[in-house]
Amino acid sequence: MAPTTTAAADCEGARELLDLLQRVQSEALSALGPADFDPKLYVDLPLATSARAASDALAALPRPPSRAEMEAYVARHFGAAGSDLVTADPPDFAPEPPGFLPRVENREARAWALEVHALWKDLARRVAPAVAARPERHTLLPLPGGVVVPGSRFREVYYWDSYWVIRGLLVSKMYDTAKGIARNLVYLVEKYSFVLNGARSYYTNRSQPPLLSSMILEIYKATGDLDFVKRVFPSLLKEHSFWTSEVHNVAIMDKHGQVHNLCRYQAMWNKPRPESATIDEQLASKLNSEATKEKLYHQVASTAESGWDFSSRWMRDPSDMTTLATTYIIPMERDIAVFAKLLGENATSDKFLEASKARHIAIDSILWNSEMGQWLDYWISTDGNSQGVYQWKPDSHNRNIFASNFIPLWLNAHNSELVQFADEAKSITVMRSFQTSGLLRAAGIATSLSNTGQQWDFPNGWAPVQHLIAEGLLNSGSEEARVLAEDIATRWLRTNYAAYKTTGAMHEKYDVEACGKSGGGGEYKPQTGFGWSNGVVLSFLEEFGWPRDKEIGCL
């Protein structure tokens, strides 16, 4: 699905800048060397002079330029990365909001929770007026309201991160800020027909897991603001159309001859990702043909759309990044059915309820593996452009164990008032499978069991994964599952607390093998801040509390 005419014009206007910045990125790598080199820094630079002047000056540099020459060139023609965002105090922030975490009784735990709560002020920004005034000088996109950034190198809003940021803001009673974040994402839907991966011009070719409707649902549950739901509802329908369009839809015929529709991550891109172009080009250098390289670039960008960039989950050969192949998605129909019912649009509600049922049948028919008691990713043809009906094959399941194999339990639990695809007995089967999977470690849930050096693999644990699985267990109906969910939350909270006490920061990811150790691996250095980690900590503390006599540090 193509962006709107206005959005396409804006993208055209930004292309000249992005081409320039990618050339700067390449020259900077040759000047500075690969050690600690972050290619994203260079495509985040706001232009301080004209594009022509900057381009001519770049062409005049020696080849390769020295470090001093490169640094002088960047300082002369560009502003600092992130300088087109300005700090902004959220108007609804209070140092200790009324009703904040009443069940957190432990003094140390409560003091820490208040410090995590205070981090919203550190991460709050507004897009500088210059971005809207001179968009051709910025890869940052203008947004109508305040934002909360993840932190560190992530200087812009990200789509699926925002779900956990909003969950944390709701615990912090920052309802207006949470609504503002959601409105920014709605603005992107209205401009581009979908929520971008992030609010940068180089992200207009892909999205991320579609959690906007879930954000709206959480805001409604916390505030009861039906007018807010009514205003954003048309945008949810528009986003749903994007995810069910020919770009993302995939039809698979099961062993009984029934055709099911699922969605796959499929970026609209077959070039190096601008924010990681030098990395992608190096990865593709071992491939011989342009067609093969373009297929790899498409899969790399599609994996980035999944949010799990990168993991052996997407690799047919876990040791080889060039074997990426991506599919699977979180459905949205359940939320839309709820909102339509609330708004009195019964026909729309019935339509999406039926779509939700069909989606859940598809998940169970295509992804469920009864032998393992898990929902497995399904490998489809490596031809990412095929629009035919695929024939289901049992050997197309990815039988490796990943935390994502248990996330449908969260989808199931959130459909308790509509339709479920796992009853209590099946939920217990899934719980038992999880307990014996080897994923639950001393400090939380590992993303996979394979230590590949990729950041979405062992031994890393990520806040969204802990939250989705714990919340799925919590709401699945059994007391044993509730106890397991609290155990997961306890392990995660302790490692976050210990790392915070040691480093003074919240981290993007953690090493689940050791309490208090941040994670590593991947294509960039470990980051701090950190939006979704903060949100999950606050959400877990609200859900489970922390008794006065319970130790918060590592045991």
Spatial CB neighbours of 481, under 8 Å, sequence gap ≥ 6? 427, 428, 431, 473, 474
- Alpha carbons 259 and 414: distance in angstroms, whole number: 25
Q: Which of 125, 118, 121 is nearest to 97 (CA)?
A: 118
Strands 249-253 and 389-391: parallel
Is the separation of the CB atoms in 390 and 251 below 8 Å? yes
309 is catalytic: yes
Active-site residue identified among 27, 309, 335, 377: 309
- Alpha carbons 148 and 342: distance in angstroms, whole number: 29
Question: In the structure, how many helices (H) and strands (E) does the chain have?
Answer: 19, 12
246 is catalytic: no
Among all chains, which residue has been given the structure tokens 């300088």? Answer: 83
Sign of CA dihedral 266, 200, 25, 39: negative
Taking CA atoms, 49 is separated from 18, 56, 60, 78, in Å, by 15, 11, 16, 7
Among all chains, which residue has been given the structure tokens 């940052």? Answer: 140
Q: Which helix (H) or strand (E) holds 444?
A: strand 444-445
Exposed/middle/buried for 346, CB within 10 Å: 0-12, 13-18, 19+? Answer: exposed
In a 3-state reduction of DSSP, which class is residue 30?
Answer: helix
- Alpha carbons 122 and 151: distance in angstroms, whole number: 9
Q: Which of 34, 89, 27, 81 is nearest to 55 (CA)?
A: 27
Task: List helix spans (H) across 400-474.
Answer: 408-413, 424-435, 463-474
- Alpha carbons 185 and 240: distance in angstroms, whole number: 14
Spatial CB neighbours of 419, under 8 Å, sequence gap ≥ 6? 353, 356, 357, 360
How many CB atoms sit inside 10 A of residue 74's CB?
Answer: 22
CA 511 distance to own-chain centroid: 19
Catalytic residues: 309, 508
